[in-house]
Structure 1
Amino acid sequence: MTNETTHYDVVIVGCGPVGATLAHILGRANVRVLLLDRESAAYHLPRAVHFDDEVMRTFQQIGIAKELEAVCRLNVGMRFVGPDGTILLDWPRPAEVTALGWHSSYRVHQPDLERILRNRLQSYPAVTLQTRCEAFFIEQDDEGVHLRYEDMSCGRIRRVRARYVVGCDGARSFVRRFIETGMEDLGFHERWLVVDVLLKGEKPGLGDWSLQHCDPARPSTYVRGPNNRRRWELTVLPDEDSTEIARPENVWPLLSKWVTPAEADIERTAVYWFHSLIADEWQRGRLFIAGDAAHQTPPFMGQGMCAGIRDIANLGWKLICCLHAGHDPALLGTYTTERRENARTFIATAVRLGGLINTKDPRSALTAAFPRAEGGAKMVSLYPPIGPGLLSHSAPLFAQPVMRDGALADDVAGYGFSFLFADFFLASLEGQLIEHAQRKGTILHVSQTRDGAVHLAGAAAAIIRPDRYLLAKVNSSEELASVLKLIPDVVGAETTRLRNIA
């Protein structure tokens, strides 16, 4: 063992999509990052299969959206159907781009996403990825965190010192143990068999819609993935053995009404416990958790990975700010209060949908879960607000304007604060106040956009956070000056540097 200690700004434990995306956010700000993963390479088989327009917006901010879009498939929507095929709940996804600048739903093969994320990490000199490394000790003080990990490639123990540690290390999170948080249980715990297949040829009868089969004999889900990938998820009954049901000879009879061995090859089978859990605390001092380490959801909304990406989009800019302007416990404390409420809304909705798919009386369950819905009713896309944090009230997600030249506003603003000003309001401001705003972030004029006035909805200006939630709308110079006090100067300055690096 060596006593040498290496210093970093942030250590991220876990290099799945959540940890790798956080490393991108920090790497673009030239933050010194150590990214640890216990496996030698990214997992090569399917896991997450969905992300939405809000998450694609984060991928846009780290510069991988276009490359990722090329390997994805647009999702046309989801339907809940009864045993007789009757549509109980319809959730179509629009064919056009949404107000966030992207399509509302994408199907992805997770290894494709991880390949893109890991390949692009090599462009950040300040980011170090270490595989086959397992963290086993954490101790923090007022100034930072001591962490030890084993380099399993050679059996050596390494010591590092970081100002912050973020656990993106899954449902059995090592970092969460040191936070010592309780977990709120929303009451959903079921075994499901997940089967991924590769079609040998065309099978148009399967359709493009994701289908939730509300069949009391065995609830199940069908998902169309990119190219020839298809997934089925089926409830495991109480008297069935998890190992036995996952064997191919037992899987094929379960899929027989949809696909046969002559038409497809099984790529992967696995039995999972689907849970609905959310950590009470996502932070302790300089330790944080994100993704499955902080929350677990049933898959019926496809929001497991999405919630994790939202976590680090919220946390990333706060860490950057504290690394450059000084440790700010109050700012970092807003991570839990803002993100927990948002994640809980998604989990609670997924639990309600799970109640619908599992019920023996789908129509009654539909009425109970969605009182205003009726058979065949449509469910719209959901963008719940974040909870109180920087402000004393919740805050909504803000749309992404399109610039006059067709560029998306986030590409102009970068990962920092931005201001959307009505031209008449900007013209009325004193030069000193404009300069103050410029130090805080990027100013966009409504006249520079095609649709900015629509997004302002009558306000004189909107102040948008780096994670693209609305900080405030204002109608006077006094209100603007008051909001500017909430934004550290370093965020705006850092944003300019990010754009120059990119």
Structure 2
Amino acid sequence: MSPTPPKACAGSAAVTGGGGEEIYDVAITGFGPAGAVAAALLGQAGLKVWVGDRLPDVYEIPRAIALDHEIMRVFQQIGVVEAIAPYFEPFTNSEYFGVDGQLIRRMTMVAPPYPQGYTPSLVFTQPPVERALRARVAELPTVTVVLSTEVLDLHQDADGVSLDLRQADGTVGQVRARWALACDGGSSGLRSRLGIGLIDLDFDEPWLVVDVLCNERGLAKLPRTSVQYCEPARPCTYVIGPGAHRRWEISLQPGEDPREAATPERTWALLSRWLTPEDGTLWRQSSYRFHALVADRWRVGRAFVAGDAAHMQPPFLGQGMCQGVRDVANLCWKLISVQRGEVRGAAAERLLDSYGAERQAHVRELTTRIKAVGAVICERDVARARERDARLLADCGGVVRDTPRQDVLPPLTQGLLAAQDSPGRGLLFPQPWLKDGTGRPVRLDHALGTGWRLVLGEGLPPSLADLAAGAEAGGGLPGLAVLHLGRQPETEGVVAAWLDRQRCHAALVRPDHYVFGTATDAAGVTALLQEAAAALC
């Protein structure tokens, strides 16, 4: 049974003309995954949110197919993990085969115990997951959802943003909010109206993406792992999705007509290496140009861009939707802090500016790494491809080793981080299982919440927890929670191992789970708390 769809409002409470309009804290354009997650994060914090989308319902064709444990941690925060669990499965290994069919690389996931408390790499079915996200938004009384509504224009002044709207029946009106967030996709109209350009990171290739619902006969024919066919004649990718869902990404050769490639007849011809029409049903076949683009600005006044409106990247590590969720997780805690008055004045402006600085640098670095993976897959020259194969095999001594996908993800390097570099600064902090008062396991974020957190290893004195609490009472970090592993132990040693690898004894963690900085002693902990508090005032 599908989750109950969110409330869709088309009345004057959401769309008004003239004076007396309702004022929202944040107006979100686009109700895809990034927009829905943003609406949930903001709405459950009590902010008054308007979210609109030009489509009347969830787009029923799967686009994204892969997620990771960081995104599951965000889904945990908005309370949808149980609702989406039926639509997820662990991502299989991805094996790379070279010119002559030999194995040249294997991408896997990190070994247990899992650092974020979830399977690190996942495949999923997008439409029901989006419905579950929308159902969660529908439960939030401060969020208004308006579907079948197009945003025509945006106007800003010192106090807020006005969006000009047109509904499917031709009704026009306006929404007024203090802030606007454009999550309206790669062809974002708001991005253009804000004058935001796209930086080309030099990747532009035509590919055909095919989704098939296979029957038992078809499944029996297919590989048991996901595969990257690094073949010069036609590089392609095979991904094992949930259940009977299988995806192919097939490069198109120079001169091939993308529209013709997406016809059922030509698509089945391209799939003939694996399947025939008797082996399954085409779910989607679409031709795309895979790009590597990133917005040159992520904020203009009171308006922000996120998701595909801010960046596009090749699909080789399945990071497209992950990037969009990271965007809104980064921005929303900052907007919440500003709207609650926890951060004011110049500090509020710096905090909001840090969104673009952090996310643009992170997206550019990750896209560069994704392009490097793509370069391995997409080499068209046979001689250079053989050199690639020989080099990759020589690098591992002829024995292909597992490379966890998570090792490719970069840390934060810009923005709201401790001034002094320290091991672990900018990394995603783990989410361990802790023992609650009855000895039962509980995840870190459920135990401490998702505000600022100070995590102290067993090697530091418990009195530091009291010191941190005293700092907060004296006007330090808003909502700071403290975990001392000597007082509340973890069950699997995930944090202890992390602290040991970073050669530190404490970490100050931001609300989006990234590490502000680390310390090795009591003086270092005090300095971190003071620096973070000073940055927010």
2:118 aligns to what? 102
Q: Which moved more, 1:298-307 or 1:356-365?
A: 356-365
CA distance in 1, matches of 2:33, 2:462: 43
CA distance in 1, matches of 2:271, 2:305: 38
Which of 428, 433, 454 is the aligned partner of 1:397? 428
2:449 aligns to what? 414
Answering whether residue 484 of structure 2 is matched by residue 445 of structure 1, we say yes
Within 5 Å, give how 1:154-233 maps onto structure 2. Answer: 154-202=169-217, 203-233=219-249
CA distance in 2, matches of 1:371, 1:131: 55
1:286 aligns to what? 302
**3-state secondary structure, aligned to 1:70:** helix
**3-state secondary structure, aligned to 1:388:** coil
Identity score, percent: 36
CA distance in 2, matches of 1:103, 1:482: 35
Shift of 1:366: 5.6
Which of 257, 261, 269 is the aligned partner of 1:241? 257
Q: C-alpha root-mean-square deviation of aligned residues, in Å?
A: 2.4
1:345 aligns to what? 365
**3-state secondary structure, aligned to 2:432:** coil
Taking a change above 3 Å as real, the CA distance of residues 386 and 173 of structure 1, as seen in their structure-2 partners, is same
What is the TM-score with the length of structure 2 in the denominator? 0.86
**3-state secondary structure, aligned to 2:316:** helix
Gaps of 5+ in 1: 492-502
Answer whether contact 2:426 2:515 (CA < 8 A) is retained: yes
Answer whether contact 2:465 2:483 (CA < 8 A) is retained: no
Letter in 2 for 1:427: P
Shift of 1:371: 9.6
**3-state secondary structure, aligned to 1:314:** helix
CA distance in 1, matches of 2:392, 2:356: 27
Gaps of 5+ in 2: 1-15
TM-superposition CA deviations, 1:46-100 (whole Å, max 9, x none):
1100001111111111111233233211112212112432112111225635211
Q: Which moved more, 1:27-36 or 1:449-458?
A: 449-458
CA distance in 2, matches of 1:331, 1:395: 16
CA distance in 1, matches of 2:513, 2:264: 45
1:484 aligns to what? 529
TM-superposition CA deviations, 1:460-479 (whole Å, max 9, x none):
42211111111122344443
Moved over 6 A (4+): 367-371
1:387 aligns to what? 413
**3-state secondary structure, aligned to 1:300:** coil
Shift of 1:370: 11
Shift of 1:166: 0.8
Answer whether contact 1:356 1:369 (CA < 8 A) is retained: no
**3-state secondary structure, aligned to 2:247:** strand
**3-state secondary structure, aligned to 2:114:** coil
Answer whether contact 2:92 2:240 (CA < 8 A) is retained: no
CA distance in 1, matches of 2:427, 2:110: 21
2:163 aligns to what? 147
**3-state secondary structure, aligned to 2:151:** strand
TM-superposition CA deviations, 1:138-179 (whole Å, max 9, x none):
111222112111122x32112122111111111111221233
CA distance in 1, matches of 2:371, 2:394: 15
Answer whether contact 2:465 2:484 (CA < 8 A) is retained: no
Q: Which moved more, 1:419-428 or 1:122-131?
A: 419-428
**3-state secondary structure, aligned to 2:462:** helix
Letter in 1 for 2:463: S
CA distance in 2, matches of 1:349, 1:295: 15
Letter in 2 for 1:280: D
Within 5 Å, give how 1:228-377 maps onto structure 2. Answer: 228-325=244-341, 326=344, 328-359=348-379, 360=381, 361-365=384-388, 372=395, 376-377=400-401
**3-state secondary structure, aligned to 1:349:** helix
1:89 aligns to what? 105
Q: Which moved more, 1:348-357 or 1:36-45?
A: 348-357
Taking a change above 3 Å as real, the CA distance of residues 435 and 343 of structure 1, as seen in their structure-2 partners, is same
**3-state secondary structure, aligned to 2:233:** coil
Answer whether contact 1:423 1:446 (CA < 8 A) is retained: yes
CA distance in 2, matches of 1:273, 1:261: 26
CA distance in 2, matches of 1:282, 1:267: 35
CA distance in 2, matches of 1:443, 1:136: 46
2:6 aligns to what? none
**3-state secondary structure, aligned to 2:175:** strand
**3-state secondary structure, aligned to 1:164:** strand
Shift of 1:379: 2.3
CA distance in 2, matches of 1:486, 1:315: 21
Letter in 1 for 2:165: Y
Q: Which moved more, 1:365-374 or 1:255-264?
A: 365-374
TM-superposition CA deviations, 1:282-302 (whole Å, max 9, x none):
111211111111111000111
1:45 aligns to what? 61
Answer whether contact 2:465 2:482 (CA < 8 A) is retained: no
Letter in 2 for 1:454: A
What is the TM-score with the length of structure 1 in the denominator? 0.91
Answer whether contact 1:222 1:230 (CA < 8 A) is retained: yes
